[in-house]
Amino acid sequence: MKLFDVYPLFPIEPVKAQGSWLWDAAEKKYLDLYGGHAVISIGHNHPHWVESLKSQLGKISFYSNSVKNSLQEKLSEKLGQISGYTDYQLFLCNSGAEANENALKLASFVTGRKKIIAFKKAFHGRTSGAVAATDNPKIVAPFNANHEIEFLPLNELTLAEEKINSTVAAVIIEGIQGVGGIQLVDDSFFHFLSKKCQQAGSLLILDEVQSGYGRTGKFFAHQFSGIRPDLITTAKGMGNGFPVGAVLIAPEIKPWSGMLGTTFGGNYLACAASLAVLEVIEKESLLSHAEAIGNELMGSLKKHSIIKAIRGRGLMIGFDLPESHSGLRNNLLFNHGIFTGEAKPNTIRLLPSLALTKEESQLFLTSLSQELSQ
């Protein structure tokens, strides 16, 4: 059997990883400023994360969600405490798309409505509702196109004022748009959406799959604005590479038992990985570290006049290049051994481990200067 062709592949096969570094079989070393797409939060193979998973494997790795699982309770308590959402409920699942799918479904159940408002350039995943709420017709199959979804421009009040009304089940928005090229949401827009959703009886879903888990310096990116969404979705950095996702549900929402379900969600290994991530975030003060090192990095990027625009918060950074430098991502990888991300048409995305060191950041900046001066 041949493998399905998922993405174009770099001719590199990492066989070992530690912190911000990857190694191939020939012991060539790569600096990872991409984190496998914002997944590596506490660093590759963090010793505490490895130990937690190993120790859990030696006990029990799976049973169904029809029995008590104290690890799930421990995780929900710790996540509530670190995120500040102590009074929310936690639904555990396996990926970002699944978290968004469940949030959309829950909003529809609770409001009895179908229509969803999403935003231009949004990416919410590839399952049925999540992909329909994603602003990329190329990945929406005819089967997924029948959802009632309307895309509005980000940060524009006038249309949002008109369109969010009593027919809308939910408004879904990323904490910071990732795939769309690191597009920030104005605090005033978050406040407006929160108020407008309340007035219309619609639910506000904050997709923090990419921007959450400390990446921006706050636990969730929307927390810079001070709003409290009805539903928050998370995944990626939550497990540091172990597949896990979740929906945080506001106390005003009263889901009924059986409304959502899952076989694998909240399994012992996913909980052990997620708990280890939170413990390391706390112990190593990774939120303040990500904010400080991210600000420094953005400050240094601003010194390059060839860079057209720089956007971001903490360690979620995007910068736009002129067409003349469209080869930069490949040059960084093949000339300097540095993995970065991209967004179309010509944005470099930096999504490294939250534990990125000053030296690692400096190494990148030196390589970047060399490439940009050519």
Instruction: Report the nearest approach of ligand PLP to the CB of residue 177 (Å).
Output: 7
What does the chain come to in residues?
A: 374
Side-chain-side CA neighbours of 328 within 13 Å: the count stands at 30
Q: Helix 47-57 to helix 268-283 angle, to the nearest 10 degrees?
A: 150
By C-beta, is 212 or 337 nearer to ligand PLP?
212
By C-beta, is 118 or 200 nearer to ligand PLP?
118
Q: Rounded to an integer, what distance in angstroms lies between the CA atom of residue 70 and that of residue 61?
A: 13
**How many other CB atoms are there within 10 angstroms of residue 209's CB atom?**
29
By C-beta, is 122 or 197 nearer to ligand PLP?
122
Instruction: Report the nearest approach of ligand PLP to the CB of residue 290 (Å).
Output: 17
By C-beta, is 235 or 355 nearer to ligand PLP?
235
By C-beta, is 124 or 289 nearer to ligand PLP?
124
The separation between the first and the last C-alpha atoms of the chain, rounded to the nearest angstrom, is: 45
Instruction: Report the nearest approach of ligand PLP to the CB of residue 256 (Å).
Output: 26
Q: Which helix (H) or strand (E) holds 198?
A: helix 187-200
Lookup: tokens for 281 = 């975030």
The 3-state secondary structure of 233-269, one letter per residue: EECHHHCCCCCCEEEEECCCCCCCCCCCCCCCCCCHH
Cα distances from 365 to residues 104, 189, 299, 342, in angstroms, run 41, 33, 11, 17
Instruction: Report the nearest approach of ligand PLP to the CB of residue 339 (Å).
Output: 16
Instruction: Report the nearest approach of ligand PLP to the CB of residue 68 (Å).
Output: 27
Give the torsion through C-alpha atoms of 218, 224, 226, 227, to 10 deg: -90
By C-beta, is 149 or 368 nearer to ligand PLP?
149
By C-alpha distance, which of 119, 188, 213 is closest to 159? Answer: 119
Lookup: tokens for 235 = 């995944």
User: Residue number with the shortest CB distance to ligand PLP?
Assistant: 96
Cα distances from 262 to residues 64, 326, 345, in angstroms, run 9, 43, 37
Contact between 286 and 350 (Cβ < 8 Å): no
Rule CB under 6 A: which residues touch ligand PLP? Answer: 37, 95-97, 100, 123-125, 174, 178-179, 207, 209-210, 235
By C-beta, is 160 or 209 nearer to ligand PLP?
209
Residues 6+ apart with CB under 8 A from 47: none
Q: Rounded to an integer, what distance in angstroms lies between the CA atom of residue 23 and that of residue 12?
A: 9
By C-beta, is 207 or 230 nearer to ligand PLP?
207
Instruction: Report the nearest approach of ligand PLP to the CB of residue 278 (Å).
Output: 19
By C-beta, is 100 or 144 nearer to ligand PLP?
100
Instruction: Report the nearest approach of ligand PLP to the CB of residue 311 (Å).
Output: 15
Instruction: Report the nearest approach of ligand PLP to the CB of residue 97 (Å).
Output: 3
Instruction: Report the nearest approach of ligand PLP to the CB of residue 183 (Å).
Output: 11
